[in-house]
């Protein structure tokens, strides 16, 4: 790192620019840990507040993250997902990422009022509830809950850890055709924060989706939450 101490550009900003360049060039890859502030300050003959300000600048830009007990790390690159009728597993795989899944729940439960309304069934009807934690790059990305009518698919936890839900639908002959989807945001609950390695109250992206097959029958009601620092939706808008 080369610093021009006679430049009108503040030293903290020079440090931040050079760290950012190293991150963009891959010299500091996702997950890489920075030295602590004291070591960085000593190495470059800077004050600790200057180093702290440089690091905070990159934290604010979403390039670094501070983790208690771990230190400061380069963040994983953000997943940008097109708004299409596809699964997160399919999108990650097609983007060259390696999704990993932990199945948290796979059980038959009575449908609550919201799920029943979305699936067009009577409240209390038995349905399959699937709750999964999706990871990529070794870090949690999304917490997904899906409600599926019984007997539509026959799956095990082991199968869902290796395959996406929509892939499973296709294998069972279910042809997804259309979906109604809502995207929003809210604060993480304590349980969500623990699973997603975030702080309680951290903003999360939310998505609810009801998907229908080619016969117009609702086959899935999903409620998902995503880490906002690692995930975004993208959509192309066309004028009339």
Buried b (16+ CB within 10 A) or exposed e, 186-209: eebeeebbebbebeeeeebbebbb
Q: What pLDDT was estimated at residue 233? A: 66
Alpha carbon distance 81, 91 (integer Å): 7
Q: Is the pLDDT of residue 210 over 70?
A: yes
Q: What are phi and psi of 129, to 5 degrees?
A: -105, 125
pLDDT 10s digits, 3-14: 888 888 899 999
pLDDT 10s digits, 151-162: 899 999 999 999
Q: Is the pLDDT of residue 119 over 80?
A: yes
Q: What pLDDT was estimated at residue 189? A: 95
Q: What pLDDT was estimated at residue 235? A: 58
The model scores a pTM over 0.85: no
- On whether the CB atoms of residues 178 and 204 are closer than 8 A, the answer is no
């Amino acid at each position: 790192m080369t610093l021009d101490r006679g430049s009108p550009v503040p030293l903290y900003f020079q440090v931040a620019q050079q760290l950012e360049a190293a991150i963009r060039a891959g010299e500091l890859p996702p997950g890489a840990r920075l030295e602590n502030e004291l070591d960085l300050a000593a190495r470059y003959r800077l004050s600790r507040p200057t180093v702290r300000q440089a690091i905070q600048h990159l934290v604010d830009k979403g390039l670094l993250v501070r983790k208690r007990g771990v230190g400061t790390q380069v963040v994983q690159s953000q997943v940008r997902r097109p708004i299409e009728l596809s699964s997160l597993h399919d999108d990650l795989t097609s983007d060259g990422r390696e999704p990993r899944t932990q199945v948290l729940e796979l059980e038959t439960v009575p449908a609550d009022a919201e799920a029943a309304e979305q699936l067009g069934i009577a409240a209390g009807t038995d349905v399959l509830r699937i709750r999964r934690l999706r990871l990529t790059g070794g870090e949690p990305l999304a917490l997904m809950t899906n409600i599926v009518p019984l007997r539509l698919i026959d799956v095990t936890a082991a199968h869902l850890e290796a395959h996406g839900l929509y892939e499973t639908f296709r294998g069972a002959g279910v042809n997804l055709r259309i979906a109604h989807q809502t995207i929003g945001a809210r604060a993480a609950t304590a349980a969500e924060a623990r699973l997603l390695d975030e702080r309680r109250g951290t903003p999360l992206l939310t998505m609810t989706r009801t998907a229908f097959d080619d016969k117009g029958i609702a086959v899935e009601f999903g409620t998902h939450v995503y880490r906002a620092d690692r995930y975004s939706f993208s959509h192309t808008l066309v004028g009339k």
